[in-house]
Amino acid sequence: MCYFNPTSVMFNNNMRSKIKEINTRLQESVTQKNYLELRYYDGGRTKTARLPTTSLVNEGHVYGRDEDKKAIVNLLLGAGLGDTHLSVIPILAMGGMGKTTLAQLVYNDHDVNRHFDMKAWIYVSDDFDIVRVTKAIILSVTSEPYDVNDLDLLQVKLKNILFGKKFLFILDDVWNENYNNWTVLQRPFEFRALGSKVVVTTRNDGVSSLMGTTPSYKLKELSPNACLYIFTQHALGATDFSEHLEHQEIGQKIIEMCKGLPLVAKELGGHLRTKHNHDQWKNVLYSNIRDIPEEKSAIIPTLRLSYQYPPSQLKRCFAYCSIFPKAYEFEEKELVLLWMAEGLLQETKGNKQMEDLGSEYFLDLLGRSFFQQSSNHASHFVMHDLVNDLAQWAAGDICYRLDDKLNANNQSKIPTKVHYFSYIPCFCDGIKRFEDFHEGMSLRTFLPLPERKVCYLTNHVSYHMLPQLKCLRVLSLSGYQIVELSTSIGDLKHLRYLNLSGTLITSLLESISSLYNLQTLILRHCFKLTRLLKKIGNLVNLRHLDTTDAYLIKEMPVGLKNLKSLQTLPEFVVGKDTGSKVGDLMNLKFLRKTLCISGLENALNVEDARKADLNGKNLDVLVMKWGSVLNDLLDARVAIDVLDMLQPPITVKELSINGYVGARFPTWLGDPLFSKLVLLKTSSCEKCTSLPAIGQLPSLKDLVIIGMARVRSVGSEFYGDGFFNPFRSLVRLRFEDMQEWQD
C-alpha cells in the first residue's frame, strides 16, 4: 500500500519562481490599496449619487409621446378594479426610454389636475426607505416638512392627511423588489377616497408585477421623426435640418444611432450643440457612444444603473451576451446552452437542472429590460444597441467581436486575454482573418454569428488553428461548407458545445467520442449526415443532441441508451436487427419538449416498446412514424400492441401518428385525461377502419385526419358514445384524402 507523503512533492525552480512572483504582486497590491485608502466594492450594487427627478416638464420640448400620454391619462381618469382596491399603474421600459418624462406629462395634465384632490411626486430610486418616502409624500402634499423619524407617527400623520381624499402619487424610478416594504408603505393609502391612483416608473418587470394592479404599460421606442425633432432641437435649436442642410446627411445617420431612445437623441444633440464643424459631427457618427466622457453625457451612466442591481451570476451571464452582434436575434435556449458550456450555470441542490436555472436567469434579464422580444419572431429576442454597448463595457477585454464593418486592415489586434470570440462570417474566410490567433491564447468561445446560408472556411482553421486552442469550451462551425473535420478535434478535452449545423459532413469523426465533457452537439440541417458516432455512449455528459432535418440518419447507435442526462433528441430512429431498439429510450428519463420516433416498423417486440416508458417523460410534442412494411398481417398485429405500449404522458400538447399499420387505435387515444392535448394529427393510417373516439378531449383545438383510406363511415363513436358536448374546444377540423368515406 502506498501512502501520500507531502514532503515528497517537489517543485521545480520554474514553479518556485512563479509562486514567488505572484506573492510579490499580491503584496504590492495590498500595499497600494492601503496607500490609496481603497474600500471594498460590492460588485456594482453600491449606491451612486444621482440627480433626483422633479415633476416639472417643458411640454414644448417633448415629442412623440402624445398617444402614450393619452393612454395613461385614460387609465387615471377611468375606474380601476371597481375602485375597491388601490389602482397602481406601472410604466415599464429600459433606461433612457422616457418613463419619467411621460409621468411628468401626465402629472401636469389639466384634466388630471381637476380629477384629484391632491398629488405628490416622489423620486424613489434605489433607496426604498419607507420613512424617507413617507416623509417625502407628506412634504409634497402639505408643502410642510414633518421632521419625525418614527414610522408610526409618520403613517398616522399621512393617514389623517389622506383620509377621504382622492389622490395621485407618482413613484418615480422604483427598484424595490421587497413585497413587504411595499405593503408597509401603502398602509396609509387605504384611508383614501375611491378613485385614488399610483403611477410607478421602473425598468424591472419584477417591480411592476409586485406593485402593479394593472398590466404594465410598456413604453416603446420613439419614431425616427420624433428622434429627429429632439435631436435637432438640442443640436441646432430647430425642428429639422431645413436651415442646416450641411449637417443633414450625417445628422440623419446619427439619429439612426439613437435607436428610438429619447435620452440618446437629447444627449447626442446637446453634445453637438456647440460643434458646427462638419468633421466634429463626423467624429460623433463614427465614434462609440460608450466612449463619450461620462461628465459630458448621461447615456452610459443611465444605462449602467441597470447593471448595478442584478446579482453577480446574472451580471456574468449578461456580460457574455456581448458576443452577439448588434441587432442579432437569438433564442432563449441558444443563449442558455452557451451559458451552460461556459460554466456560468451550476446545478443547484435538489432537482433543478442547469437548463431550468438558465431559463430563470434569462427571464430575470428579460424582466430587467436587458432583452426585448423581437418584432420579427415571437420566439426570438434582441438587445437594444445601447444595451449591447453596456454588455461590451461589462465584459471588458475578455470578449472580442470581429465586426463586419471593419476589415482586416483597420481592425485592432485581438487582445491576448480574450476568452470569448465571435465574428461575422464572410463568404470565404481565409487565413488572414484569424492571423492574430496563437497557441498561447486561452480562448473559450469561437462563434461565427449570424449563420450564413453559404460560407467557406479555410482548412487552416480546423486543421491547424483550432487544435491549438486547448481551452475551447464553445466551438461553432455552423453554416460552413466543410465536409470533414480534423481528427485533432478530439484533443479539445474542455469542449462542451459543438455546433456543426448546415455543414456538408457525411459522418462524424470517432475522435469526437472522446470529448467526455461535451454537453451540446448540434447537427441541425446536416442533410448529408448518414450516421452518428458508434461510440456515442462515451459522451456521458451529453444533454442536447439536435439532429433536426438530418433525415439521412437511418438508425440510432446502440450506445445512445447510455446518455442518461440527454434532454434534447428531436428524432429517435428505431434500427433493424442489431441496431437501436425503441426500448433504448428507457434510460433517457430527462427527455423533454419534442420527440419524433420513426422507423417503428422495426419495433417488433412489444415488451421492448413497454420499456420505452414514454409516459414518464416530460414531452410537449410527440410524433410516431411507421415506414413501409413487408408482412402486412403480422406487422399490423404487432403495430397495435406497440402503439398501445407507447402511450405518451398526459401532459403532451401535440400528438401526430403517421403511417400506422394497425386496424384500430388504442383506447388511451381519446382519454379525457389528456387534458392538455391541443393538436392531434393522424396521416396515412391506411389500415384503420374507424376513427378514434376523441370527442371528449377537453382542450383539443386542432384536428387533422389525412389518408384514412379504409374509413367508410363516421358515427357517434367518433364523438364518444354516451357523452355530451363533444369537441368543446375545437377550432380547426381538417379531413383530407378519405377515399372510401361514404357516410
Residue-level pLDDT at 113? 95
Question: What separation in angstroms does the CA of 35 have from each of 42, 46, 155, 191?
Answer: 20, 22, 47, 56
The confidence score (pLDDT) of residue 37 equals: 44
- The CA distance from 41 to 307, in Å, is 14
- 270 CA to centre of own chain: 35
Q: Of the candidates 563, 569, 627, 568, which has an alpha carbon nearest to the alpha carbon of residue 601?
A: 627
Q: pLDDT digits over 588-616, tens only?
A: 999 999 999 999 999 988 999 999 999 98
Q: Are 582 and 574 in contact (CB under 8 A)?
A: yes
How far is the C-alpha of 573 from the C-alpha of 576, rounded, in Å? Answer: 10
CATH superfamily for domain 403-553: Ribonuclease Inhibitor (3.80.10.10)
Q: How far apart are CA 582 and CA 573, in angstroms?
A: 8
**pLDDT reported for residue 410:** 43
Q: Parallel, antiparallel, or unpaired: how do β-strands 372-373 and 330-331 relate?
A: unpaired
pLDDT for 99: 96
Q: In this structure, are strands 87-92 and 474-476 parallel, antiparallel, or unpaired?
A: unpaired
Residues of the chain with pLDDT under 50: 1-11, 35-48, 404-411
Residue 92: count of CB within 10 angstroms of its CB = 23
Q: Answer yes or no: are the C-beta atoms of 173 and 100 closer than 8 Å.
A: yes
How far apart are alpha carbons 16 and 631 in whole angstroms? 75
What DSSP assignment string belongs to 122-180? EEEET---HHHHHHHHHHHHHSS------HHHHHHHHHHHHTT--EEEEEEEE----HH
- Cα–Cα distance measured from residue 27 to residue 219, given in angstroms and rounded to the nearest whole number: 51
Q: What is the pTM of this model?
A: 0.84
The pLDDT of residue 31: 57
The CATH homologous superfamily for domain 59-218 is P-loop containing nucleotide triphosphate hydrolases (3.40.50.300)
Q: What is the pLDDT of residue 46?
A: 42
* Predicted local distance difference test score (pLDDT) of residue 39: 45
Let me know if 218 is exposed, middle or buried by CB neighbors in 10 A (0-12, 13-18, 19+). Answer: middle
379-423 pLDDT tens trace? 999 999 989 999 999 998 899 998 744 443 444 578 888 999 999
3-state helix, strand, coil in the chain (%, to 5): 40, 15, 45
Residue 402 pLDDT: 86
**pLDDT in the model for residue 403:** 73
State the CATH architecture for 312-383: Orthogonal Bundle (1.10)
Please provide the DSSP assignment of 263-323 as one string.
HHHHHHHHHTTT---HHHHHHHHHS-GGGS-GGG-SHHHHHHHHHHSS-HHHHHHHHHGGG
